Amino acid sequence: MSNKSVKIGKPNRQPDGKFGPGNVANPNGRPKGISITEMVREALEEVEPKTEKPWKDLIVKRILIKAVNEGDQQMIKAIWNYIDGMPKQSTEISGKDGGEIVVKWKE
């Protein structure tokens, strides 16, 4: 019989709460196979039995009704962002009196 011991329970954590060397939260990684996103995409292609229309068409119709007929401002904004994308903002940074910025760090 061997004298090996096996730890069962939580992975070894350091005092700061981080995992110790060689310990990870998900040692097996992401499960293989179809993702939930792919499952939803496939389901949206299926036809709803009562209307005989694809689910994706019904969702788009409901989004438009909520935005236009009900005047839902958040839905209007969401549609706008889907069509045009989120507004982009650029920022220019300069040093004192418009000069360059020097960044120093210790190695």
For residues 49-77, give the mean pLDDT. Answer: 93
Per-residue confidence at 97, pLDDT binned at 50, 70, 90? confident
Strand-pair category, 53-54 with 47-48: antiparallel
* Residue 14 and residue 22 in contact, taking contact as beta carbons nearer than 8 Å: no
Residue 31 identity: P
Question: In this model, does residue 11 exceed pLDDT 60?
Answer: no
Angle at 95 between CA 94 and CA 98, to 5 degrees: 65
Per-residue confidence at 8, pLDDT binned at 50, 70, 90? low
Nearest to 75 by CA among 61, 88, 87: 61
- Here the tokens at position 43 are 């389901």
